[in-house]
Structure 1
Amino acid sequence: MNLVEWFEKGLTPEQYINGMNVNKEGLETILQKFEVPTEDEAFLAKVQAENLRVIVLTEDWCGDAMLNVPILLKLAEKTNMQVRMLLRDQNLELMDQYLTNGTARAIPIFIFIDQEGNERAVWGPRAPKLQQYVMDQRSQLPDKEDPTFADKQSEMYKQIMQRNIEDESFWNEVYQSLKEKLQ
């Protein structure tokens, strides 16, 4: 399949959100509260003029998707960019073309295409500064053989999820990373 066919196969953002079973409240909180910076009119006009569309590889259980998807949707709203969502686990043929570090099916992945279906940019699964934050948090975990590892890892993921939902600096990191990718 070419990227236009993948795009056409996807769910609308509304269909995706309505079908969510996990992380819906967090995604909707970010979607409601995040605002694209008003001083970015020139950038937004440039993106809108490119008439891009975006394919989103995602799953509702993914905390990174919960954070990143609403930021993308706000950007798309400001630039009239059409968005279609594909569930990663049902679309491995496409997912396996966008592996992180050549091995990981990490999501979300945003594939920006022009009207002919040519890939213009790919973003994901995290903004670089947020990737560093997660790596720093992981480095503080005990060894995997440590009996407290599972509990400490679980607590770490809960804290990251909470920051994803509440920390506006995280939202701005995602937006700035997307902006850099599209400039």
Structure 2
Amino acid sequence: MGEKMNKVSEFKYSKFLNWNEYIDSMSENKENFKKLTNKILNDKDLINKINKLNTKLNNKEIIVLTEDFCPDSLFNIPILILIAENLDSVTLKIYRRSENEELNKIFIKNGLSKIPAIFVLDKNNIKYKWEEKPEKAYEIQSSIINKLKQNPELDDNEKKNSYLKLSECEYEKNLWEETINEIYNLKEL
């Protein structure tokens, strides 16, 4: 697959979206995304936990690769928005994977093929990387899917809505904190 790239300035990519522009341009999950973002932005406990990231993310840029349809993006990008809104020296740039093929290639060359995928940059150098969801979410996701399988009378749309509601409850309980902890514990590349 080639050598990893440590810089993202090695190519030209299309204009990023700030988080408000991203929400305005969403074609899927927009209302749920707005609801979750507003909930997170007003959560005092999460804001306090974000503050422990200040030293690690000081003067850094967070690049997010995502798509509207992705449920993991729905639940995790609002945490990145909270980080950018509460840590003065952090910049958040959101890119759609489908519109940024070259950027997607750089993420893949650095081992990130799922979304949302993030790079934390320090002067265009990739300092940290993270993707998709916190580890604990995989266990919870399996549990939710198993519960839904026990209800064969639900159609696909009902299953999707039930999955989103159950996932939201789990994120509210502890997965948002897990995302923050995983970002805090990222090892420098």
Using structure 2 for the length normalisation, give the TM-score.
0.74
Structure 1: give runs of 5+ residues left out of the alignment. 143-147
Rounded to whole Å, the distance in 2 between the matches of 1:89 and 1:8 is 11
CA contact (8 A) 1:13 1:85 kept: yes
Q: Deviations over 1:131-180 (max 9, x none)?
A: 222244456787xxxxx6xx677655433311333441232222222232
Percent identity for Structure 1 against Structure 2: 25
Rounded to whole Å, the distance in 1 between the matches of 2:115 and 2:49 is 29
Inter-CA distance 173–96: structure 2 relative to 1 (3 Å threshold): same
Q: One-letter code of the match for 1:160? A: Y
3-state DSSP of counterpart to 2:86: helix
Rounded to whole Å, the distance in 2 between the matches of 1:175 and 1:7 is 28
Inter-CA distance 63–9: structure 2 relative to 1 (3 Å threshold): same
Rounded to whole Å, the distance in 2 between the matches of 1:161 and 1:107 is 17
Inter-CA distance 157–173: structure 2 relative to 1 (3 Å threshold): farther
2:91 is matched with which residue: 66, 82, 94? Answer: 82
Aligned partner of 2:128 in structure 1 is: 121
1:163 is matched with which residue: 166, 169, 188? Answer: 166
Q: One-letter code of the match for 2:48? A: T
CA contact (8 A) 1:11 1:84 kept: yes
Aligned partner of 1:177 in structure 2 is: 182
